[in-house]
């Protein structure tokens, strides 16, 4: 048995009440079983480690428990015990990823016509069902169209879009969601208490984030953390194990942006690089931190009291404009997606931070009077085209309101008067005025900012 999977198997839920994070599915199945409203085919969809196969086995016990069809299988009868141990003769689990062909499916379906040997139902659990071939799906479809009374299919997949519509329409579908971060953290705490192992709350939060909604991954990571830290779970040990970014760096980056301190930004990048930290992971963590700051600006009570960085998050939430936070979040996501295209990871990370600094609006709290004056003067500078650079396609702005006001050619002042916000404001501030008249204004976006011509900004 792999050490990485000990806790994941030991604490695998055996009943619906033990399953966490999928209450909507549990409620529907519980009601159906209580009312004896049974379907011949169930389909569980969702990402890895969220409980699809676990639910399938619990449902199999509910259908075959010797005490009758029930949402609360006894767990003590021979059928329940054999299903838990994987030895129930009338339960066949098939991995479609390794059994994709028509011959495998035909063998399964030929056996389906025979009555169950011991159980009430003959149950087929087919994992990653989307991997079946077209011919195998056609063979399955014939059985789904006219299923024997004693047969139940429980299908599971991470990619339901690859399942033929004809098969989907004959299944009762349940979509399992990624398990919330807080739910995973709470469950890991319960596991540690039952295992009598000490664990720091901040360490469990790191593990929960790394699991990305998968309880199975979270338990596997917890197992690794216990082994890594010699029988306990500490934040420093988990950070070392995961190669996680010290949040101190990220807070210093945001404070440098608040002060518009480019030197401090690059110093943080160099320190992180010297420690061989993953800068791609840093962008992901920075986006998460910005999301927390945005949440604190809108619903501060949503920032949990036990969150280690709560004080600093609330502090930055008060210091930043909400528009800046949204802008930085967008740039962080874009930078993470584009980091593989950069000359190297450090260059991609540095340019992402410098882009945040460059695009930070002039009227942000940290902007000095000189900076605001400089930004307003930018449209009057020689264009990149005149300096030998390129130019993005020309865009024309027509607005009847402009005809009613006298315009002296100062585009920056007009932008300030329009009181734009968000992406529209950022696009306007980085346009250059190339001409104007009674019909409107003609603007140009310089080549370095051509990404601002994307549809989302124009809208």
pLDDT for the residue numbered 406: 65
> CA 310, CA 201: separation in Å to the nearest integer?
14
β-pair partners for 92: 124
Can you list the pairs that 238-241 forms with residues at least 24 positions away whose Cβ atoms lie under 8 Å?
238/203, 238/206, 238/207, 239/206
- From the list 399, 264, 88, 76, the residue with the least C-alpha distance to 414 is 399
Q: What would the DSSP string read from start to end of 349-411?
A: HHHHHHHHHHHS-TTSTT--HHHHHHHHHGGGSPPTTTTT--EEEEEEE--HHHHTS---S-H
> Which residues, 6+ apart, have CB-to-CB distance to 246 below 8 Å?
239, 277
pLDDT for the residue numbered 105: 74
Q: Are 425 and 323 in contact (CB under 8 A)?
A: yes
pTM over 0.75: no
What is the torsional sign of CA 424, 429, 434, 436?
positive
> CA 283, CA 349: separation in Å to the nearest integer?
7
Which strand (E) or helix (H) includes residue 446? Answer: strand 440-446
pLDDT for the residue numbered 393: 46
pLDDT string in tens for the chain (459-residue length): 344 447 888 888 898 988 888 899 999 999 999 988 888 899 999 988 888 999 999 999 999 999 899 999 988 999 999 998 888 998 988 887 776 666 667 777 777 888 888 889 999 998 888 888 888 888 888 888 888 889 899 999 998 888 889 888 888 999 999 998 889 999 999 999 988 888 888 888 888 888 888 999 899 999 888 888 788 888 888 887 877 677 788 999 999 998 888 899 999 999 888 887 888 888 988 998 999 999 888 888 777 776 777 888 888 888 898 889 999 999 999 999 888 888 899 999 999 999 998 888 766 655 444 444 334 433 435 333 333 334 444 444 555 544 445 677 788 888 877 777 767 777 888 888 888 777 778 888 887 777 777 766 666
> CA 222, CA 236: separation in Å to the nearest integer?
14
């Amino acid at each position: 048995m792999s050490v990485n999977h000990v806790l994941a198997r030991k604490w695998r839920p055996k009943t619906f009440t033990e399953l966490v994070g999928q209450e909507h599915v549990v409620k529907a199945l519980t009601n159906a079983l209580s009312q004896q409203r049974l379907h011949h085919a169930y389909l569980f969809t969702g990402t890895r480690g969220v409980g699809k196969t676990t639910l399938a086995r619990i449902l199999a016990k509910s259908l075959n428990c010797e005490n009758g069809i029930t949402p609360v299988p006894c767990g003590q009868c021979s059928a329940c015990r054999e299903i838990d141990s994987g030895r129930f003769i009338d339960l066949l689990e098939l991995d479609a990823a390794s059994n994709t062909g028509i011959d495998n499916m035909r063998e399964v379906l030929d056996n389906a016509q025979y009555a169950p040997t011991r159980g009430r139902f003959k149950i087929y659990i087919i994992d990653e069902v989307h991997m079946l071939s077209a011919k195998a799906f056609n063979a399955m479809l014939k059985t789904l169209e006219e299923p024997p009374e004693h047969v139940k299919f429980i299908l599971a997949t991470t990619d339901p879009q690859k399942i033929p519509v004809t098969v989907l329409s004959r299944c009762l579908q349940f979509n399992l969601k990624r398990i919330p971060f807080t739910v995973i953290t709470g469950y890991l705490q319960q596991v540690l208490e039952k295992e009598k192992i000490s664990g720091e709350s901040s360490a469990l939060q790191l593990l929960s984030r790394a699991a990305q909604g998968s309880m199975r991954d979270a338990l596997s990571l917890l197992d690794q953390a216990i082994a890594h830290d010699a029988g306990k779970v500490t934040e420093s040990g988990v950070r070392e194990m995961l190669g996680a970014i010290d949040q101190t760096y990220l807070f210093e980056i945001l404070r440098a942006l608040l002060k518009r301190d480019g030197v401090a930004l690059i110093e943080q990048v160099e320190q992180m690089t010297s420690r061989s930290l993953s800068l791609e992971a840093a962008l992901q963590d920075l986006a998460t931190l910005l999301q927390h700051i945005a949440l604190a600006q809108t619903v501060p009570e949503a920032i949990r009291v036990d969150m280690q960085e709560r004080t600093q998050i609330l502090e930055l939430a008060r210091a930043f404009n909400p528009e800046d936070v949204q802008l930085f979040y967008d740039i962080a996501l874009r930078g993470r997606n584009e980091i593989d295209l950069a000359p190297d990871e450090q260059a991609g990370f540095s340019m992402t931070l410098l882009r945040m600094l460059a695009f930070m609006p002039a009227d942000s709290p940290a902007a000095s009077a000189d900076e605001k004056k400089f930004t307003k003067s930018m449209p009057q500078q020689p264009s990149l085209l005149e300096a030998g650079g390129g130019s993005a396609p020309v865009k024309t702005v027509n607005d009847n309101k402009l005809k009613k006001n006298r315009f002296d050619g100062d585009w920056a002042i007009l932008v300030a008067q329009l009181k734009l916000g968000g992406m529209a404001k950022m696009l306007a501030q980085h346009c250059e005025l190339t001409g104007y008249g009674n019909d409107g204004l003609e603007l140009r976006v310089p080549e370095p900012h051509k990404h601002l011509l994307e549809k989302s900004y124009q809208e």
